[in-house]
Amino acid sequence: MAETVKLTIDGKEVVAPKGMNLIEAAKLVGIEVPHYCYHPKLTIAGNCRMCLVDTGMPKLDKDKKPELGPDGKPVIMFAPKLAIGCNTTVAEGMVVHTRTPKVQKAREGVMEFLLINHPLDCPICDQAGECRLQEFSVDYGKGESRFVEEKVHKPKQTKLNAKITLDDERCILCSRCIRFMKEVAGQDCLGFVNRGSYSTLTCYPGQEPKTNYDLNIVDICPVGALTQTDFRFEQRVWFLKETKSVCPNCSTGCNTVLWSREGVVYRQTPRDNDAVNQCWMCDYGRLNFKFINDPTRLTSPSVKSAVYGERVNLTWLEATRQITGKLKAAGTIAGIASGRATTEELFLFKKLVGDLVDIVPHTGEADGKLLQADRNPNTAGAKLTGCATGKLPEILEGIKAGKVKTLIVLGEDLDEELAKKLELLVVIDTLPTKATEHANYVLPGTTFAEKRGTFINGKNRLQRFNAAIPPVGIARPEWQTLTALLGASYAAIEDVFADMARTLPALAGLNLSKIGDLGVELKIEQPAVQPVSQAAEAVAK
């Protein structure tokens, strides 16, 4: 159990864990101490001087006990100079003032200094609307400028690397990016050159940031010095709707925020979750969202018309009727699900298809930080719902041999030759693939940005995500499609989850509300996935 310390901030009593700094301690009681260079996940720099506060300790008498004043309270000796809150640890009996005229004057002074050489870029700067310089200037700075000299000029609009644009005039030299690249991303490539007021942030030519975590410096830059090049001039942030989501690009499941407007997603940023991704996400995941608004998205159910030879659009009603009819008449049904599908979808898919089902593994190289080798976000969910059986080779063999004639595919591609061999191929997907080209029926699905659902990440954490934009065309969330194919009567996704929670013991007692924004760790005891050779042996026996 961590020890705690009692101190007073602006007259409020605070109980803070030992070792906590004053900025965090003030946050505990809802007091904001403005700061730029401090970041809870990086080392302390202490150079912006914005978090200056007045600190005092009880005066100790010769027995090292607090001396009491005439009012019976300890006499407080205030330090002669203001101290920076980020580097001051809480101490028993400490008294901190963050609102006195002395502190206000210090903040106004520091703010003024930060602005004297700052370019008048607000009208063209992407950071406007989420710029800490603007916000603290209005909240803590002066309203009028007294600077009439020429500002220091530095390189503007330079390419730090392909993903990031650097504007040195806007930089307030807080060194967050330098510390991040060195301490977290692991590539010590940024630094300051020149001296004094001419100090400039840069990287050595040819040694620009090359990690999978470069774009995090755009997040942590408090001003518009580092901006994401593909978001440059795209949108003003106050027009964007923020939707809490989870990254679907690997089994880490970094918590994210989708920024969208009128059905278009413009960018993704990480969300704080100390149990999963702290406050970072990798560039691979961050940049992989353009497919959501791709113009070739599937928008309507369609059937490969025998008469016309090309695809014909159907209504959902008609498509469902035809497919359910054909499935009833079919023999063995096999299913290929996706590790990118949500737990709810996999649960329903398993019900629809039965035992002959498996997911398609997708792997890549893990980067030792957040990006895992397993590029499916919901492998654990597939295992839990029984969709990850290891039978994929068997299924593909079965199709080749002609034993499996009916296949439903959820969100994956299929070899062209195999697709042609099937009598009935139903594909539920979002973008055109070889499978959708040759499928008898194509049912349009939704990306992770357009539906609600849950993923279970590689550490068995159940996390939920929300819909940011409406589906394209008349596409529907897959759980609705599967409900219709099952002929079930789930009215809302909560009902699907409730059924799941009833059926799968690991989810007992949970619902989508209880999961919350940070997810819940599940206790899962799973039967091991049967390896292929054992299954084949069993069949052979």
- Residue ranges that bind another protein, judged by CB under 8 A: 44-50, 52, 81-82, 84, 87, 105-106, 109-110, 112-118, 120, 122-123, 128-129, 133-135, 137-139, 141-147, 149-150, 152, 172-173, 188-199, 202-205, 207, 238
DSSP for 59-87, please give it.
PB-TTSSBPB-TTSSBPEEE-SS-EEGGG
Q: Between residues 186 and 402, which has the closer beta carbon with respect to another protein?
A: 186
Separation between Cα atoms, residue 248 and residue 212, nearest integer Å: 16
Separation between Cα atoms, residue 362 and residue 460, nearest integer Å: 18
Q: Between residues 189 and 348, which has the closer beta carbon with respect to another protein?
A: 189
Please report how close the Cβ of residue 146 comes to another protein at its closest, in angstroms: 6
Structural tokens at position 228:
């994401």
Structural tokens at position 529:
């996935």
Q: Between residues 116 and 327, which has the closer beta carbon with respect to another protein?
A: 116
Q: HSE (CB half, 13 Å, CA atoms) of 430? A: 22
Q: HSE (CB half, 13 Å, CA atoms) of 61? A: 8
Phi, psi of 246 (to 5 degrees): -130, 140
Q: Between residues 141 and 458, which has the closer beta carbon with respect to another protein?
A: 141
Q: Between residues 174 and 456, which has the closer beta carbon with respect to another protein?
A: 174
CB distance 268 to 233 below 8 Å: no
Give the DSSP letter of residue 293: G
CB distance 271 to 518 below 8 Å: no
Q: Between residues 182 and 405, which has the closer beta carbon with respect to another protein?
A: 182
Starting from the edge strand earliest in sequence, which strands make up the sheet with 164-166, in order? Answer: 158-161, 164-166, 226-228
Q: Which residue has the tokens 């009567």?
A: 489
Q: Between residues 79 and 312, which has the closer beta carbon with respect to another protein?
A: 79
Helix, strand, coil % over all residues of the chain, rounded to 5: 30, 20, 50
Please report how close the Cβ of residue 120 comes to another protein at its closest, in angstroms: 5
Q: Between residues 37 and 510, which has the closer beta carbon with respect to another protein?
A: 37
The radius of gyration computed from the CA coordinates of the chain, to the nearest angstrom, equals: 29
Q: Between residues 201 and 449, which has the closer beta carbon with respect to another protein?
A: 201
Q: Between residues 102 and 311, which has the closer beta carbon with respect to another protein?
A: 102
Separation between Cα atoms, residue 229 and residue 421, nearest integer Å: 46
Strands 406-410 and 424-429: parallel
Please report how close the Cβ of residue 60 comes to another protein at its closest, in angstroms: 19
CB distance 457 to 472 below 8 Å: no
Tell me the torsion sign for CA atoms 258, 480, 414, 420: negative
Please report how close the Cβ of residue 206 comes to another protein at its closest, in angstroms: 8
Ramachandran bin of 88, using left for φ above 0, alpha for ψ from -120 to 50, beta for the remaining angles: beta
CA distance to 131, 151, 163, 266, 434, per residue, from 166 (Å): 15, 18, 10, 20, 41
Phi, psi of 367 (to 5 degrees): -105, 10
Please report how close the Cβ of residue 447 comes to another protein at its closest, in angstroms: 30
Give the DSSP letter of residue 123: G
- What 3-state DSSP class applies to 44? coil
Please report how close the Cβ of residue 242 comes to another protein at its closest, in angstroms: 16
Structural tokens at position 428:
């539920």
CB distance 250 to 374 below 8 Å: yes
Please report how close the Cβ of residue 223 comes to another protein at its closest, in angstroms: 11
Please report how close the Cβ of residue 415 comes to another protein at its closest, in angstroms: 47
What would you measure as the largest C-alpha separation in the chain, in angstroms? 102
Please report how close the Cβ of residue 424 comes to another protein at its closest, in angstroms: 52
